[in-house]
Every structure is written in structure tokens, then in C-alpha cells.
Structure 1
Amino acid sequence: MDAPTESVTIVEVAPRDGLQNDPALLSTEAKLELIERCAAAGAKRIEVASFVNPKRVPQMADAEQVIAGLPQRADTSYIGLVLNERGFQRAEQTALQEINMVVMVTDEFSQRNQGMSTREAIAAVAAITPAAKAAGLHTSVTMSASFGCPYTGEVPVGRVADIAAELAATGVAEVAIADTIGVAVPRDVHTRVAAVRAAVAGTPATLRVHVHNTRNTGYASALAAYEAGVTVLDSSLGGIGGCPFAPNATGNIATEDLVFALERSGVHTGLDLDALCRASEWLAGVLGRPVPSLLPKAGGFPPA
């Protein structure tokens, strides 16, 4: 793989994005053990909870309790998802280091998911970002459905780039391009990464990519993002999770499978594959079913 750099930061999203759509309602204690296992495997950025309506996403009803129980590690940054100012008000009362906001790039998806237009979501980011920065929080925003919308179909590259430019102008530290429904392919990743990079040029915003494996293109897309110069990638232990408001859009890429591909390609992630596989097997036991990842089943290479 022709790579521009030799290291990548993995943002572990299993405790939030992985669990938010899961039929199993894990206890607070189980969530804390999941987070601890991810941290012990070397994860430095972990998305741990979301501040959303518990009636819509009951899996996240104990967000404050989870965060209160987290061990504070000097080398680990905990992330909370906020969708509006009410969510931010809850988040800033906790011991989080980061917040991640979301903007759906199509109005139809935004209305169905957040009950607001894309324009209103951008305005919310503009309002929250300075307050979050004043509170000492790292700020990130994810542009959902950047590769395709579950309701309206194709999303023009120009629309994604224009929204990225507006978001970067708010002062947010990181902008993520997200393939919410798993339709990205490598060529599209290269095109959209280049467009968004150009759109945020001259601002402090860095790039992150979040892909799903819904149509078995997630790992190719993640590696394409790396080849395009993106050094922060999202993944989920075991490959669990998806979006509860995107029909059939299950399938985050699995952290252990992604790390195997990167490390075999000479890219340093700082994550322990053996620890990830043990954590994935534990997670399957807690959920009561197999998880989608393949490395724990196939084993590493060369064999130990």
C-alpha cells in the first residue's frame, strides 16, 4: 500500500456507536468494562456515550453514570456525542475531554434523525463550538451521509465540501466524513477527502473518516482514506453497531480487523491485536451472540 505516513489514530466507537442500536441493553458496569478493555488494548480516543433522548435511544440512557465511572487516564481521551445545545449542557457537566457533534448533509435525513434541517444543525454547531472550547473540550463534528443518503440517494461532492467549509469556519477542531449507510468505495473516498481537505484549508480543522461495512467495502474505504492522507479513522470493537435511523445500515468496521490490515501494511496504530481479540470475544459473550469481526475467528498471522 502506497502510504503517505506510517501511523494512524483509531477512534474506538463501540461503547457509543456500537451499542446505540443494539437490542441488548448492557448494564452500566458492562459498558465500563468494555471501555476499560478498549483502553487496555491501547485505544487513546474512545467514544463512550451520547447525550440523546433516552426514549429514542434507550441504550444511552445512563450516559452520565457511565462517564462518572470512567477511570481518568492521562493518555486517554473520552468522547461524548451531542446533537444539540441541551445535549451539550449535559456533556459539559461531566468529565469528558471531547465532544462530537453531528450534521446530516441532507435535509431529509436530518429531519428524520434530529428533527431539524441541515442548516439548523450547522447553526447548532456554530453555537456549541465556542462554548465547548471555552470549557476546555476538544471539538469534532461528523458529517453523516457524506457518501449517500438512505432517503434521497446520491449526495453531490460539492454539497459535502460546502458544508465542511461552513463547519470549519465555526472553529471546530476536527471534521469527519462519514459513510453512514455503507455505500463508499475507494475512488469516492479519494474524491471526497480531497474536496473536503480543500474546503477546510486555512482553518485549524483536521480530517477524520468514519465508514461502515454494510456492503463489504468498509475496509477498502478505510485504507483508501489512509492512502489519501487521513490519519484518524473510526472503528468499533467486534464490528458492532450502525445507525438506528438509517434503514439496514448496520456494520461498523471492526477495530481488530482494521488494525490487522494497517499493521500488516506497516502502519503503526499503537493497539494490541491480542488484547483487541480477547476484548472482542468477551464482548460477544456479553451480547450473547457472535460479533461480525473475523480476526478473532481466523487468528493472527504469522501464527504465534
Structure 2
Amino acid sequence: MAFPQSVRLVEVGPRDGLQNEPTPIDTATKLELIDRLGSAGITHIEAASFVSPKWVPQMADHREVMAGLKRRPGVTYAALTPNLRGLEAALESGVDEVAVFGAASETFSQKNINCSIAESLERFAPVIETAQAAKVPVRGYVSCTLGCPYEGEIAPEKVADVSRTLFEMGCYEISLGDTVGVGTPLKAKRMLECVAGQVPLEKLAAHFHDTYGQALANLYAVLEEGIAVIDSSVAGLGGCPYAKGAAGNVASEDVIYLLNGLGIASGIDLDKLAETGRWITETIGRPNRSKVGVALGAR
């Protein structure tokens, strides 16, 4: 396989990046973050999560966020909707796209959403059907594709099974998540090869965390195989509440620097993106985990 000519970046910072912040972040800050990301040229932004505020208090203002967006033409504003109630609220809020979350690990599924993998997929069926009836595309996430905090190694065949099921249920794209960031390039290639045997490669995305500092190497490995959609988070914000020690997502700035160096188009202004990363980390009092963002800021 050859590198793709262009890559679509899915920016998950406003949702995946902020959801575990212990101190409440006001709606205005979230809206400014989303607007700055759009201004930098990002066309796909995960803006909110329609989950119970009891579980994820940081996302309690999901309706206010969706209502307050300065919508830019050509930008998709997506939200996580794990159940029908969340989906109905998201549809009322004018969401452009929704996402459901499965896992390749039984234990992680139980700890994360209190049900088995099979039960989680059953729960998603009415969500996907209702979204499709409303002509809203559904993206499917698969967690723990390269390892699990409870089970350790995960067989690529399990990842392929869950991915195929979500795809057959109607998800237009499957995002393969290295939730704990334990993957290495060869593992990433082997997992992708197995999944691509069940789901067309052009329907797959990579969502790699950087716990062990391998995310960029893993992305390079799957780019070589033709992956053309990458999930990332500005300034490397985020982690996973059910995976102790898991660092944030790979930083969007670092991904764009890599893509630029490979001559792969993204349509994103790296300087504006880095400025956004500096602004949000200063605003919420977090370290900037983007190596590129820190280096550009020091210039």
C-alpha cells in the first residue's frame, strides 16, 4: 500500500479531550475552542457528548454547546450518543453526526458501559436506526483495539468482529481506538490488516492514544497501509476514565506536522492549530502535551 494523498482529521478535543477534566469548564470556553479549531481548517469536530451528567458531569452542557455553535460551512459538528435518550436530545440540538461506542474487550465493556459487547451492540441498534431515519450519519468507535487495561492483549479477530458488526448495522465509518495507548507499529499493522479483511479500509479511522509515546509511530504504520482518517486532540488533551494511567489522545499538532512532512494534505493551518492548543491549555491550567505546539510556541 501507499500513503494516502490526503487525510481527514477528526478533532476530538472538545469532547474526548475535556470530558475527564475535574474542574468544570464553562460553555463559553468550549464554544471558543470549537470555533478556533474550525478557524484552523478542521472540518470534523466532536463537539459534545449526550451522556448522563451523573456519569460525565463535564458534558452536562451538551445542549448549550450545540445551541451556541457558530456553525461554519463545510464543518461537521458531531456528538457521542450512547443511547436513544441521548440521540433524541442530540437530534433536537441539530447535531450533524452522532457516534456510538463499542469495545473489543468484554471486561472493558462491562466496566465502561455496564454490559457485555453483545448487549452493547443490541442497545446501539435502535440508536443507529433512529439516526438513519433522521438522515444523520453514525460513526462507530471500537475501544481497546490494541490492548485492554484489564485483559491485556486483545485478539485482532475480536476487533474485526465488533467492527464488522457495527459496519453492518449502519455505521458509515469505524474508528479503531488504542484506548490505553499500548500499541506498537507492528501490532497496529496486524490489527488493521485483520479488520480490513472484514470492513473496507476506506471506512476505517485510527484513534491512537499516546500513553507509551508510540502514537505517531503507530499512525505512520497505518498511514503506510492506506488509512486516511485520523482522530486526534488539540494539545494532546484527554485520557480515559476507565484506563488508569492512560495519557491523552495523540496531539493534533503533532499529527499535522507528521502529515506535512510526508506531503499528505490535510487543509489545516498548523500555526493556528498550535496557537489554539496553547490557548486552551493556558485557559484550563493544563500542560500542553503537543511536542510540536511547545516547540512552535518557543520560537
> Counterparts in 2 of 1:75-94, with a 5 A limit?
75-94=74-93
Q: Secondary structure at the match of 2:112?
A: helix
Superposed structure 1 runs of 4+ greater than 6 Å apart: none
Shift of 1:5: 1.9
TM-score, normalised to structure 2's length?
0.96
Match of 2:288 in 1: 291
Shift of 1:251: 1.7
Q: Which residue identity is paired with 1:137?
A: V
Match of 1:115 in 2: 114
Q: Is the Cα–Cα contact under 8 Å of residues 4 and 227 in structure 2 kept in the other structure?
A: no
- 1:57 lines up with 2:62 in the alignment: no
Q: Is the Cα–Cα contact under 8 Å of residues 204 and 227 in structure 2 kept in the other structure?
A: yes
Q: Secondary structure at the match of 1:178?
A: strand
Percent of residue pairs bearing the same amino acid type: 39
Unaligned runs of 5+ in 2: none
- Using the alignment, how far apart are the partners of 1:3 and 1:44 within structure 2? 24
Q: Secondary structure at the match of 1:230?
A: coil
Shift of 1:55: 1.8
Match of 1:209 in 2: 206
Shift of 1:39: 0.3
- Using the alignment, how far apart are the partners of 2:89 and 2:180 within structure 1? 28
- Using the alignment, how far apart are the partners of 1:283 and 1:9 within structure 2? 22
Match of 1:171 in 2: 170
Shift of 1:175: 0.9
- Using the alignment, how far apart are the partners of 2:55 and 2:283 within structure 1? 23
RMSD after superposition: 1.7
How many residue pairs match? The answer is 299
User: Which residue, 227, 232, 236 being the options, matches 1:230?
Assistant: 227
Q: Is the Cα–Cα contact under 8 Å of residues 173 and 205 in structure 1 kept in the other structure?
A: no
Q: Secondary structure at the match of 1:269?
A: coil
Shift of 1:242: 1.2
Q: Which residue identity is paired with 1:289?
A: R
Q: Is the Cα–Cα contact under 8 Å of residues 175 and 205 in structure 1 kept in the other structure?
A: no
- Using the alignment, how far apart are the partners of 1:5 and 1:38 within structure 2? 23
- 1:243 lines up with 2:240 in the alignment: yes
Q: Which residue identity is paired with 1:275?
A: K
Shift of 1:256: 0.6
Q: Secondary structure at the match of 2:160?
A: helix
- Using the alignment, how far apart are the partners of 1:219 and 1:185 within structure 2? 10
Q: Which residue identity is paired with 2:88?
A: Q
- Using the alignment, how far apart are the partners of 1:135 and 1:255 within structure 2? 31
Q: Secondary structure at the match of 2:198?
A: helix
- Using the alignment, how far apart are the partners of 1:254 and 1:296 within structure 2? 9
